[in-house]
Every structure is written in C-alpha cells, then in structure tokens.
Amino acid sequence: MNILADIMNLKRRIPMYNCNDMYLYEILEDYKYAEDISEKDAIFDAFCSALWSCGNNRTRMTKTIRYRVRNDLINTETGKIFDAWSDVEYTYYRSMTDKDNWCDIIRQKINNIYSVYFDPEIVVDKEYMQLIKTPKRLYYEWISGIDTDPEVLTGLIDDAIDSSVQLKKKLSMQKPRLSWDEYLNVITPFLRKCFENCRLTDEAAETEDSSPQPEFLSEDHVYTAYICRSLSGDIKRWLKQQLGLKEHRHYIRCHICKRLIEKKGSRTMYCPECRHARQLEWQRMSMMKNAVVKLLKILSNPHRCCTASTFLLRIFHMWIQCRTMWHTKAWR
C-alpha cells in the first residue's frame, strides 16, 4: 500500500513543475490539496516561472492620432495648418494579447499594471488625451462649418500641444519609481495571496451565496478573471500605503494641479489650495464684470450724474477698478 501511495503521489507531483501544459484550475486544485508548505511552494514557484518565462513581454509602442485633410481644402491657409498636425504621435503600450491561455492573459494584466502605474513614459490621463486630440477635433469642427481665423487656430493648437507636454511631465513625475525587478518583488506576494484566498468552484457551488456560472465560461476563465481583478485591487491598496493615503477612501486627481485628493462628494474637483485660488479668480472676474456693467450704464446715460465733476469722478473710479483687475490677470 505504501508503494502504491508513493506512486500516486509521484504522478500528482510531476506535472507541478511544468505548469505550461496544465490548466489553471488543475494548478489551483493541486495547490489547495497539497500536503505541506514545501509542496505548495513548489507549485507556486512553477506557476511564477511559467509567467515570467512566457513570451508575452511588456511592449511600449508609439501610436498616432491621424486624420487626412480633404484634397479641396489642403491648399488653403487653414488647410495647411491642419495638414501640419495631421499626425500626432504619443507613447502607449500593448494592452491586449491574442492568446487565450491563462499564462498570457495573467502576464498581460501584470504588464498593463506596470505600464499604467509605474512607467513614466506612458500617460493615459483623460485630459492629456483630449489635449493631443485638439488638432483633429478642430479640423472636424472646421469642415462641419465652424470658421476659424488661421492665427487664432495656430494659437489654439500650439497652446494645447504645449499644455499636453507640461501635463505629461507633471504626471510622469508623480508616478512612483519602480524598476521591473522591484515590481516583480511587489506583485509576487499578491499572486501568492490569490492562491491562498481563491475558492475552488466546487467549494463555491456548495455555498448558498454563490451565483450560477454561465455555460460559456470555463473554470479557467473564472480563475483567471479572479486573479486579474485581485491584482488590480492589491496594487491600488499598495500604492495608497506608499503614498500615505487612507485605504477605504476613493481618490481622484485635482483638475488643476493633478494632485491626488480624497473624493468626498460628486462635486469634488479641486484640492483646497486650487479651490481657494479658483474662488479668488471667480471673485475677481465677478468684480470686473460688475465694474464694466456700471461703466457702460454711466456712459450710456451721463445725465444721471448730478454734475460733470461727479460724472468724471465715477469714470475715473471705474477705470481704476478695471486697471486693477487687469494687472491681477483676472481678465486675461
């Protein structure tokens, strides 16, 4: 009996060291039913070796925002401006794989996390993408009938591209600096945590709160989705710890300075400093608007003043207010 038991154990242990030919559910079942910690370590090490040795390496690529100016417009002054910006390149990453095995899909998820959170050359911010798409957006507005002065158009495009460069630099500097090897040391314990916390489908089916699994999904689909989703949550919690943020709070970036701020409501948009500066700017603009309205009323009806000296005094007062607001850059 002892010899038979040893043979059965040997048959079960041999595939553990070659995870490439195994389904993910088989690996997880072997891990859950392992007799001791050394056997679990061997299974997990084989799993990690399969991930790091697969051919799905992280790839940085150059993408292009492209459009073509119509032939009947390309020789116009405005058409030449748009033609000069018909190809806008930016750095991106390969975010998908054409293979459907668990090893490539999980490795792709690991690659994507590093590209989004740690690669300083890659920026996926929504505002940045809108800025670099400005020439294309303005072109389609132009051909739809919105006329634009060439000088104004050049200024709008130059300002948008310059703002995108500054924004990318700011967001890149805010990313944590982590090499690929250091990143693997961070992500590996999270993978081990997935193995420890994962419930087998047979165990989950026996619980009352389990939902039925769709027929078109295999067990590997379920386990792969669980690991990818868990990695996303774990890396976000790790980043919050590194930045000294509260774990169970939602954070967004300030719309002006791009610092992380706690989202306390649907109207949260700015950090306290930017909100205060924006409030002052709004007050300056409101004062400027009121000053201009009063000045126009006085100029339109000078007889409302008692004397000519009072009228001139009011004009001078309005001029001082306008001049003050101009120098505070509230009207520029």
Domain boundaries, the chain: 11-53+180-248, 60-174, 272-327
pTM, entire model? 0.74
Most confident of 29-38, 65-74, 310-319: 65-74
- Considering only 139-153, 261-275, 304-318, which range has the smallest mean pLDDT? 304-318
Q: If you average pLDDT over every residue of the chain, what do you get?
A: 82
Residues pairing with 64 in the sheet = 89
Beta pairing class for 260-262 and 87-93: unpaired
212 pLDDT above the threshold of 70? no
pLDDT tens-digit readout, 37-57: 988 999 999 999 999 998 899
**What percent of the chain lies above the pLDDT cut of 90?**
45
Give start and end residues of each alpha helix (H) in the chain: 2-13, 24-32, 37-53, 77-84, 102-117, 126-132, 134-143, 150-174, 180-197, 201-206, 219-243, 272-300, 308-327
DSSP assigned state of 179: -
Give the confidence band of 257 by pLDDT, cuts at 50, 70, 90: confident
Contact 220, 23 (CB under 8 A): yes
Give the confidence band of 298 by pLDDT, cuts at 50, 70, 90: low
Mean pLDDT, rounded, for 261-288: 78
Count Cβ atoms within 10 A of the Cβ of residue 5 and give its class: 0-12 exposed, 13-18 middle, 19 or more buried: exposed
DSSP assigned state of 96: -
Higher pLDDT, 214 or 65: 65
Most confident of 139-148, 194-203, 238-247: 139-148
Amino acid found at 312: L
> How much is the pLDDT for 148?
82
> How much is the pLDDT for 96?
93
- Cα–Cα distance list, 252 to 147, 233, 262 (Å): 37, 16, 6
- Cα–Cα distance list, 87 to 64, 92, 128, 149, 152 (Å): 6, 15, 16, 21, 20
- Considering only 89-93, 227-231, 254-258, which range has the smallest mean pLDDT? 254-258
Please give the Cα distance from 28 to 138 (Å, whole number): 53
> How much is the pLDDT for 70?
93
